[in-house]
Chain A
């Protein structure tokens, strides 16, 4: 069976060039511990620093501002816990608890970290977003208090693809002297990111969303930003993240970043055109289908579509059995009963949220893929609707 992968926001396949770059650090003499003094250690260290340069270039940062982590989740957690801990250390004796501002559509890595901070006495404001899927910077500004230690707003949403006004929020944060973090895991490699232009203090990245290996990420920490490490151990990563470096993974991340820099412009146009064809094809053939946030700035590859009276779980399985891989939302929340918090946040009812499917395109998708997907999707929708007791009852009775 020919299979089509339209779930690139969950993860992407490793690029062959990335695999080639990693190989010497897995099975060859690149195995050394980057902290060792000898030749082996030096080889690993050199590769590590080269990768750091590459990742820095992807977001226009200084290499010294890049800290490698185990992935997006660790980067987000380090940002939130690290800044709050540093703020608490700076203002010991302050009688009011620290305050954090974030949004209702963040990834769970931010949302649950914020909730954990709440449990420790931090006050958290979750700023809502409207049906556009885009947060209003004015709402962020209005949430600021003298105790606000950190603002964390994602660069683009993983389920909807909506791009957030990070530059503007960052300006507001700077005006109030507040540290600003953005989770750019879903944006990096898909649209240009420039930390200087954005003016952020902290930015999270993950390698496997841009054809790199899983288990590697990075946190950009602007020079001078004060934060505490999440873990304690050796003096790796300039004392900001202990643990022997995942050299092969980091090398892969570096190579993936280079490939992303090279292909970004052409690739995002090509993918945006494919997505246009996908949405057009679906809307032409399927009634009662709605593309979420279609009027908002969106990632070029992401399409969140609601098919009324279609049960998302059944859709994903049925499509998979026909060779089409997509998802109901974030992969992390698959199988859970609660509708996606992101879809609820943009005003979807439980039923509407459960009827929403995310298609996310990637480097390997071709016109043929889209053509075939547009054949499979209406078929699956029709079958599911024919089994739904609620669909078109009125029409039948006419």
Chain B
């Protein structure tokens, strides 16, 4: 069996490749190369000249680690050559722009707080990448994600589980995977801690063993959404329109003016442009009415929310209500809730305790203990 490993040039995917390469060597000594390294070229970093050069406050050393920079491709190639596995760069720029970048921009402009990584996983890494892998004769793919996949021997279904290293767990970004996608995926790092991964990388003397971690969204250099979106729109011949609107309180009083809903995110405190006796927070963004609703910290706590485009990894019937722990953002501690499956791939979530800043555009992921039951995209809360 041939396995295609997605190699980004970082320490995680490099170590995943190293683990699989060693396993393949010991299993079939002298056999055909069965681990193939592939780097997905997703975005051309030289494309938006306005973002060239280092964004303010970014140290030169940190600037690499941006996705698909020449440095990262260079690193991935170096690791593949070090491991003695065949390696290729495959170009998914067009798909990435259509499936990830454009929706990201549209959501942002609509006042949502998008997370492009989930879409990238479902649409690119576990869709297009799987297809390319199959084209080249690899029926399975491996990535450096921190999560686990278990096949239920009785039902044959695949279950998605959180990583052993909870601090690195990436299951939140993987809720959209289908049974077909899970059946083809291998996560060699799911049972390891980050420390162990680093240690393996060092022990194997991988050329990227000491490479620093990248945290930001890969195609947004320096983490500046605003800068990226302005540059992207300019390239498309459009402009980021600052449509001023009303800044209102939860009880409907007008406090002043905002300069465009896209500049706000739920829970934000700074930069509201109004002074008040007590600290003010963004409670809700109403793109349809072009209004930003502000209020007190306690107004941010909500018990109910609706989600759309729900993917159930464990089958749940329409109308069924399940108890689950629901995570509403990556670093959020899953909170007990009741999830009701609705028609049209929607669901209602009712938390046992109110949750702070349930943000449209983010994902709500349902956990049953270690298992990801499913998840969807947050529409709104009340």
Q: Spell out A's residues near B (CB within 8 Å).
A: 1, 311, 313-315, 317-318, 320-322, 335-337, 383-384, 387
Kindly identify, within residues 56 to 95 of chain B, every residue whose CB is under 8 Å from any CB belonging to chain A: 86, 88-91, 93-94
How near does chain A come to B35, taking the closest CB pair, in angstroms?
11
Q: Report how far A336 CA is from B33 CA in the complex, Å.
A: 26
The smallest C-beta distance from B315 to any residue of chain A, in angstroms, reads: 26
A320-B86, A321-B33, A321-B36 known; A314+B136 contact, CB < 8 A: yes
- Complex partner residue of B132 from A1, A314, A320, A321, CB under 8 angstroms: A314
Chain B residues within CB distance 8 Å of chain A:
2, 32-33, 36, 41, 86, 88-91, 93-94, 131-132, 134-137
Scoring B41, B88, B89 by chain A CB atoms within 10 A of each residue's CB, the highest score goes to B88
- For B36, the closest partner residue in chain A by CB is A321
Residues in A whose Cβ lies below 8 Å from that of B88 = 317, 320
Asked whether A321 lies within 8 Å of B137 as measured between CB atoms, the reply is yes
Please tell me if the beta carbons of B93 and A383 are within 8 angstroms of each other in the complex.
Answer: no
Chain B interface mostly: mixed
Total A-B pairs in contact (CB under 8 Å)?
39
Q: Which of B33, B90, B94, B131 contacts A317 (CB 8 A)?
A: B90
Contact between chains at A321 and B86 (CB < 8 Å): yes
- Chain B residues, CB < 8 A from A315: 135
Q: How far is the CA of A317 from the CA of B90 in the complex (A)?
A: 9
Verify A321–B135 contact, CB threshold 8 A: no
Taking the nearest CB of chain B, how far is it from the CB of A257, in angstroms?
34
Q: How many angstroms between the C-alpha atoms of A383 and B131 in the bound complex?
A: 11
A311 to B36, CA, bound (A): 18
6 contacts between A and B (CB under 8 A): A313-B90, A313-B91, A318-B136, A321-B2, A321-B86, A383-B134
Q: A313-B91, A314-B132, A335-B91 are in contact. Are A383 and B86 (CB under 8 A)?
A: no
Say yes or no: A318 contacts B135, CB within 8 Å: yes
A1 contacts B32, C-beta separation under 8 Å: yes
* In the complex, chain A residues whose CB is within 8 Å of the CB of B91: 313, 335-337
| A386 (CB) vs chain B CBs: closest residue | B134
Task: Verify B135–A384 contact, CB threshold 8 A.
Answer: yes
Known: A1-B32, A335-B41, A387-B131. A318 touches B89 (CB 8 A): no
Give complex CA distance A321, B33 in Å: 8
CB pair A387–B86 under 8 Å, yes or no, is no
**Measured CA separation A210–B137 after assembly (Å):** 34
List of B residues within 8 angstroms of A1 by Cβ = 32
B132 (CB) vs chain A CBs: closest residue: A314
* Interface-centre pick from B89, B91, B135 (highest chain A CB count, 10 A): B135
| Given A313-B90, A321-B2, A337-B91; 8 other pairs, CB 8 A cutoff | A311-B135, A313-B132, A315-B135, A317-B88, A317-B90, A317-B136, A321-B86, A383-B137
B86: chain A residues at CB < 8 Å are: 320-321
| A385 → chain B closest CB, angstroms | 10
Chain B residues positioned under 8 Å from A335 (CB to CB):
41, 89, 91
Nearest CB in chain A: distance from B360 CB, A = 33
Closest B residue to A318 by CB, please name it.
B136
What is the CA–CA distance of A317 and B134 in the complex, to the nearest angstrom?
11
Structural contact, B136 and A321, CB atoms closer than 8 A: yes
The smallest beta-carbon distance between B124 and chain A, in angstroms, is 15
